[in-house]
Amino acid sequence: MGYHSSGEMKRKRRNGGVVPGPALVYRCPMPARFARSRATARLLFLPFGLLLAGLLCCVPAPAALAAAAPEDAAVPEADAPLTPRNARTFEFYLENDLFAGSDRHYTNAVEFIYLSPDISRFGHEDSPLPDWLARFAEKLPGANDPDVLHNVSLTLGQHIYTPSYTEAESLVRDDRPYAGWLYLALGLHTKTAHVLDTVELSLGVVGPASLSEYSQEYVHVIINADVPNGWDNQLHNEPTLGFAFQRSWREGGPLGQGPPGTGPWSWDLVPHAGAVMGNAQAYVDAGMQVRVGWNMPAGFGTTPLHPGGAIDAPIASDDPRLNGGWGMFFFLGAEARGVGRNIFLDGNTFESSHSVTKEPLVADFYGGVGLLWDRWRITYTHVVRSREFKGQTVPQSFGSLNIGCVF
């Protein structure tokens, strides 16, 4: 990874030569370019990171939720049942083309998401929220509607892109650029049992400061895989700012009773449409997903990672994650995007860099399975993505693993 200070070390590993053992490799000093990139990332993320930390601290703890509840509804914290209003959700995503047996193009992404409890219930004088946030919660559409939930999400993610041929140290002009993206996002999710609106603001950085070279090479050293040699040709450092909106609709119903002890079968259909604007990405999208399962929670599905994507948090009191139950579901989906801007193909916005000609229309086709047990959910999605740029010889396939917990 970044611990290899020369292309010669990488070539020795690729050709089966002798390289220092893991203990020696990990004691090697970090190259200066990684130290500079890490310092740049800290500088760019400090203001937004402080803002997100402040907002996270503003989200009431369970004790504060109980204190803010009416006296006749108060129960001891240890005995308080989880509901769609007081439940928090944490999700982890891992997307990698290793699931499809390749190592190229959109090659890896990780994302950590925290979703707050419903904040609209705190729009009153004795709210545990800060005054400014309580006033904001009080003015949200549907704030006084018992069927509407408002949640705030905090997201940290990283994406990694490479060309197909990673052995070359020189620029591969007819293939996609080396690029990485590190980002933070703040989202507001307004939902009922049938409609979910998501508004998301993101701040990030593309280039060496994203630490994507560092991440990829670190993992490749650990798993004893070939180390990519062309990261010196990656996109330049550039801050990114993005705004995303997505609306999802949901309709469904029962299908009958499942096997003994499994709960009822049900189905739902989840179309969605949205738009993303920013210097990293700009596109409009529309798609649909169909789900079938037993003891399946009401929700808005699981999609590949993208700005403003749906978060699968409880929206109904019979969700098995709230009651310690279990369930299983299967799903199929598709999405089409009209792409106006993709920095990972178009190259840097304000200076010259490697670029390729993007395709204006890109489609995803995907299917997968989800399992629920107690408060946990694990979902695997296999995705086939159409060609994203001129000269790409085959569509890309990758897997998406999602683990979520309600607490």
pLDDT tens column, 94-122:
999 999 999 999 999 999 999 999 987 66
Specify burial of residue 251 (Cβ count, 10 A radius: 0-12, 13-18, 19+): exposed
- As a whole number, mean pLDDT of residues 219-239 equals 92
* Residues whose CB is less than 8 angstroms from the CB of residue 260 and which lie 6 or more positions away in sequence, other chains included: none
Name the band, by pLDDT with cuts 50, 70 and 90, for residue 15.
Answer: very low
Nearest of 125, 128, 126, 122 to residue 144 by alpha carbon:
122
pLDDT in tens, 250-291: 999 999 876 666 678 999 999 999 999 999 999 999 999 999
pLDDT band at 49 (very low <50, low <70, confident <90, very high): low
Predicted confidence band at 212 (pLDDT cuts at 50, 70, 90)? very high
Give start and end residues of each alpha helix (H) in 7-70. Answer: 7-14, 22-27, 32-58, 62-68
pTM confidence score: 0.82
Q: What pLDDT is recorded for position 122?
A: 63
What pLDDT band is residue 8 in, cutting at 50, 70 and 90? very low
Q: What is the 3-state secondary structure (H, E, C) of 335-402?
A: EEEEEEEEHHHHCCCCCCCCCCCECCEEEEEEEEEEEEECCEEEEEEEEEECCCECCCCCCEEEEEEE
Q: Which of 58-62, 304-308, 386-390 has the highest mean pLDDT?
A: 386-390
Q: How many other C-beta atoms lie within 10 A of the C-beta of residue 247?
A: 14
> 7-406 architecture in CATH?
Beta Barrel (2.40)
The amino acid occupying position 390 is K
**How far, rounded to the nearest angstrom, does the alpha carbon of residue 208 sit from its chain's CA centroid?**
21
- pLDDT reported for residue 309: 86
Which pLDDT band, with edges at 50, 70 and 90, does 81 fall under?
Answer: confident
14, containing H or E segment = helix 7-14
| Conformational region of residue 68, where left means phi above 0, alpha means psi within -120 to 50, and beta covers everything else | alpha
C-beta neighbour count of 170 within 10 angstroms: 9
Q: What are phi and psi of 231, to 5 degrees?
A: -65, -15
Angle in degrees, 0-180, between the axes of helices 212-222 and 32-58, rounded to the nearest 10? 100
Residue 146 is predicted with a pLDDT of 83
**pLDDT at residue 34 greater than cutoff 60:** no
Instruction: Indicate if the pLDDT at residue 11 is higher than 50.
Output: no
218 burial class (0-12, 13-18, 19+ CB within 10 angstroms)?
middle
Residue 310 predicted with pLDDT over 80: no
- pLDDT higher than threshold 60 for residue 68: no
What's the token pair of residue 192? 């009922």
- Domain ranges (residues) in the chain: 7-406
The pLDDT assigned to 22 comes to: 38
55: its two tokens: 């907002």
Instruction: Supply the pLDDT for residue 234.
Output: 97
pLDDT tops 70 at residue 17: no
Average pLDDT over residues 206-226: 91
